[in-house]
Amino acid sequence: MPTNPRSSPPKPPVAVTRSRATGKFDLSEHDPRGTFGWDKEVAKAQLVEVMSEVAELQTRLFAEQRTALLVVIQAIDAGGKDGTIREVFASINPAGVDVNAFGVPSEAELSHDYLWRIHARTPSRGTIGVFNRSHYEDVLVVRVKQFAPEDVWRKRYRHIREFERMLGDEGTRVVKLFLNLSKDEQKARLQDRVDDPTERWKFRKGDLDDRALWDDYQAAFTDALRETSTAEAPWYVVPADRKWVRNLLVAEILRHHLRLIDPHYPEPEEGVEGIVVR
Ligand code: AMP
Ligand code: MG
């Protein structure tokens, strides 16, 4: 019978280590144009390779039905959240992926605490959940636009740490990605959205109001990452100006955490081995 030897925990690749936010986190030390010394063509080939291992690990995760992986993606407008989901997750089995986007809360959502709608959409065991925006909006846009006073949003860092810790304890590994875009690159991407008729639907005039608040958003991201990057639910700062760097790093982070989960195919039913199907 095939055995499933559990090996010692895998070491993260260098880029994964370097992009991890720690308690002393300083956003200005992370270059949105960083490449980790990668070559574009090599990186594209490597993405395919890394994702084929991710696909295999995902199959095991799905078969095992024991743990879930929740990938939270946050970024400013045009930061590449949709592109990351489309380009990185494209090669894995959609049956095991649960993508949720969080927009302006509805009236029903606003009549509950801010984690209510979030918890309802965390992934079930065996699946990979992807959050396109998340509960972090409640310490980002809510703070910057002053939708709630400081004594309300400041307590949320603690709620979020404790919520994510509970998820981890109960079988959902949480991994958080901040797509770090430069102000110049955001300008170029927003302009492209305006100029390209097939992209124009993504542009809202309000995006310019948010762009004018760039420094406030950077400060809010810095605090959010500093306050909530924990051992059990780490943040990664993903250089996002170059899509090919972003994609490969996200794939490597996914692979690293799936390797840590180390899912195994379940044991077959007793007596199945050797059965001849007639
Ligand atoms: P998009 O991701 O472009 O579809 O935009 C979604 C919008 O919803 C963004 O402008 C977010 O800032 C906003 N949003 C998401 N969550 C919240 C929240 N909790 N409170 C207020 N606005 C939010
Ligand atoms: Mg938008």
Which residues does residue 177 pair with via DSSP β-bridges, in sequence order? 73, 236
Nearest CA to ligand 1 atom 20: 104
Nearest CA to ligand 1 atom 17: 104
Which amino acid type is present at position 114?
Y
Nearest CA to ligand 1 atom 1: 103
The pLDDT of residue 9 is 85
Average pLDDT along the chain, 278 residues, taken 10 residues at a time:
62 95 90 98 98 98 98 98 96 96 98 98 98 98 98 98 98 98 98 97 96 98 97 97 98 98 96 95
Instruction: Please give the Cα distance from 244 to 42 (Å, whole number).
Output: 10
H or E element that contains 17: helix 14-19
Nearest CA to ligand 1 atom 9: 103
The pLDDT of residue 6 is 60
Residue 162 CB neighbour total at 10 angstroms: 10
Instruction: Please give the Cα distance from 176 to 84 (Å, whole number).
Output: 13
- 227 touches ligand 1 (CB under 6 Å): no
The pLDDT of residue 2 is 46
Structure tokens belonging to residue 239:
């250089």
Q: Which pairs from 115-123 meet CB under 8 Å and 24+ separation? A: 115/159, 115/163, 118/163, 119/163, 122/68, 122/70, 122/167, 122/172, 123/68, 123/69, 123/70, 123/98, 123/172
- 142 touches ligand 1 (CB under 6 Å): yes
Ligand 1 mean position, distance from CA 134 (Å) = 9
The pLDDT of residue 22 is 87
User: The whole model's pTM is what?
Assistant: 0.96
Residue at token pair 């991890």:
20
Nearest CA to ligand 1 atom 22: 104
The pLDDT of residue 24 is 85
Ligand 2 mean position, distance from CA 18 (Å) = 29
- 201 touches ligand 1 (CB under 6 Å): no
Using the atom order of ligand 1, give the atom closest to the CA of residue 81. Answer: 2
Helix (H, G, I), strand (E, B) or coil at 87: helix
- 103 touches ligand 1 (CB under 6 Å): yes
The pLDDT of residue 78 is 98
Ligand 2 mean position, distance from CA 117 (Å) = 20
The pLDDT of residue 8 is 83
- 146: phi > 0 → left, psi -120 to 50 → alpha, else beta; which? left
For residue 237, report the phi and psi dihedrals to the nearest 5 degrees: -100, 115
